[in-house]
Amino acid sequence: MKLSKRQKLFLTCFLGAMAALAPLSTDMYLPALPTVQYDLGITTSLAQMTLTMTMVGMALGQIFAGPLSDMRGRKVPLLIGMIVFTGAVAGCVFSRSIFWFLVFRFITGFAGSCGIVISRAIARDIYEGAELTRFFAILMMINGLAPILAPILGGQILLFTSWRGIFVVLTGIAVMLTTATLIYRETLPKEQRLKNLGATFAKYPQLLKDRYFRGHCLLQCFIFGAFFTYLAGSSFVFQNIYDVSPQGFSLIFGGIGVGLLLMGSLPARFAGRIPDVVMLKNSVLVSVIGSAVLLVCFFLAMPLFVIVPVLFVTIVPLSVIGAASFSLALSRQGKNAGSASALIGFFSMILGGLMMPVVGIAGDHNALPMSFIMFLGYGLGYLCFLRMIAPEHKAELHR
């Protein structure tokens, strides 16, 4: 599909913002998690459950949003999702009990999943091969701004108002994204759309029978499970164990986000020169080693100036892992891009969402559960790479 420079610029910004819905929905109120816990009178695990409901909603929502976009086109499902997303975020502002807050967090994730999965499908509509990898890398870089800016913005908002003010700002962002969706022009022609929803859902078992594609799903399941464990536990670890203020935590979190942003430039720079699978292998291996060192550091109660650099090295390869794995997995799927993107999105969020409350099971002054789950997730992800993905790329990996 040929696009003008102006259209490419709009789509890059638009899809980057849509892909950033997950970090925007979670990272902005991470500095406020201890405050939410106190204000609602709930346990640490229940506070982390608010993140779980968002992640589970996003995981399940993608299962439906992807097929719908393959059948109805990208624009209509995306617009409906953004309207519901806006209403759910606004509902969080007025929630006075943990029950309603959890309900609205689930709806936020479910509706917001439309932006996440459909943005990747749109990318597949207009790009392929090395160009697709470059575009995914650009999306990851734009997406990387969200973990930098969101917690910093959230921390600053807490200086002037309560945690509810964070959701007021999120509502404003949601309104802008809904407006941008109205401007977006459809990228999936009618003749390329699947004919009925049943046939679309039937693609899921077909996709999962593909060992290579299944390998990418499981790799992202474990890798992002480790990452979301870090999201759930980091605010309690830094604020409760190391006595860092919400603003200080937001700066640490934002600094790691800068690393994610800079690392995200590598796939775009080396696409076509270094095979995607080589970048994927090395990035996962770095995270495995980093998480092992992090576990030892927490066990030995190492000081903050040691923990932060180790955590940085462990987390930042995620940008390369995400771009390379998505590109490799979707490059073989053609018109099934929406369904394939939905499955990968489901697997990349479901484990992380389910594990988030487990991080706080030992209380809010213990970092070992977080670091152990991270090490386990990265290790299992690397095992999936070796067993299910690497065999398809023997020539590239042995150059």
Look at residue 191 and tell me if it is in a domain.
no
Count: domains in the chain:
1
200, 194 Cβ separation under 8 angstroms: yes
Q: In sequence order, what are the residues at sequence separation of 6 or more whose Cβ sits closer than 8 angstroms to the Cβ of residue 302?
A: none
Q: Which of 397, 360, 387 is nearest to 51 (CA)?
A: 360
Look at residue 36 and tell me if it is in a domain.
yes
Look at residue 216 and tell me if it is in a domain.
yes
What whole-number distance in Å separates Cα of residue 40 and Cα of residue 131? Answer: 48
Look at residue 114 and tell me if it is in a domain.
yes
What whole-number distance in Å separates Cα of residue 282 and Cα of residue 277? Answer: 9
Look at residue 69 and tell me if it is in a domain.
yes
Q: Which segments of the chain have a pLDDT < 70?
A: 1-4, 129-130, 133, 137, 140-145, 147-148, 199-200, 268, 271-272, 333-338, 356-357, 359-364, 399
Q: Which of 351, 330, 326, 353 is nearest to 140 (CA)?
A: 326
Instruction: Please write the tens of the pLDDT for every residue from 62-81.
Output: 888 878 888 888 889 999 99
Q: In sequence order, what are the residues at sequence separation of 6 or more whose Cβ sits closer than 8 angstroms to the Cβ of residue 398?
A: none
For residue 2, the model assigns a pLDDT of 65
Q: Which of 123, 145, 125, 148 is nearest to 134 (CA)?
A: 123
Look at residue 15 and tell me if it is in a domain.
yes
Look at residue 232 and tell me if it is in a domain.
yes
Look at residue 137 and tell me if it is in a domain.
yes
For residue 379, the model assigns a pLDDT of 96
Q: What is the extent of the structural domain holding 80?
A: 5-186+196-397
Number of CB atoms found within 10 A of residue 392's CB: 15
Distances (CA, A) of 106 to 42, 46, 47, 55, 68: 18, 14, 14, 8, 20
Q: In sequence order, what are the residues at sequence separation of 6 or more whose Cβ sits closer than 8 angstroms to the Cβ of residue 280?
A: 320, 321, 324, 325, 328, 385, 389
Instruction: Please write the tens of the pLDDT for every residue from 313-323.
Output: 999 999 889 88
Q: Which amino acid makes up residue 180?
A: A
Q: Which amino acid makes up residue 373?
A: I
Q: Which two tokens stand for residue 73?
A: 């086109």
The radius of gyration of the chain from alpha carbons, rounded to an integer in Å, stands at 20
Number of CB atoms found within 10 A of residue 182's CB: 9
Instruction: Please write the tens of the pLDDT for every residue from 330-372.
Output: 777 666 666 787 788 788 888 777 776 676 665 567 788 889 9
Q: Provide the phi-psi class of 243: left if phi over 0, else alpha when psi is between -120 and 50, else beta.
A: left
Whether pTM exceeds 0.85? no
What whole-number distance in Å separates Cα of residue 373 and Cα of residue 393? Answer: 29
Q: Which amino acid makes up residue 399?
A: R
CATH number at residue 111: 1.20.1250.20
